[in-house]
Amino acid sequence: MSTRCHIASVPDNLFIYCHFDGYLEGVGQILKKYYNTPNKISELLALGDISFLEPSTECPKNHSYDHPVDGYTVAYYRDQGAPWQEVKPRELSKMDKQEYNYKWDGNKWQYCRRNAEWSDL
């Protein structure tokens, strides 16, 4: 079973979808520890929608959707070959709240559960 989430950047006005491990101990902790600079967040958003988040956005040799390499994020477009128009980042105004939602405000990560208030991560 999956715990879906959205990952957003307020300064970029964009968000992506993540299918697995969207809870605080999963995506929340990885975002806080590994994606805490504008460059790292931009690299993540550039992937478009992802299956699951890992510490790195790089694509090592033999990494794919069906055969992921541990520690590397799995992206639908890059790693599965899904059409780009279906997985590119979307504007924040189109974000519907998932079970968990994360947003970078330019200085820190915040999160909320569906229809709840935002809190610092």
d(CA 103, CA 88) in angstroms, rounded, equals 17
Per-residue pLDDT of the chain (121 residues; tens, 9 = 90+): 689 999 999 999 999 999 999 999 999 999 999 999 999 999 999 999 999 999 999 999 999 999 999 999 999 999 998 888 878 889 988 888 899 999 999 999 999 998 889 999 9
Please count the residues of the chain: 121
Under a CB-based contact definition with an 8 Å cutoff, are residues 55 and 34 in contact?
A: yes
What residue numbers bound the domain in which 99 lies? 5-120
Q: How many domains does one find in the chain?
A: 1
Residue 69 has what DSSP assignment? P
3-state secondary structure 73-91: CEEHHHHHCCCHHHHCCEE
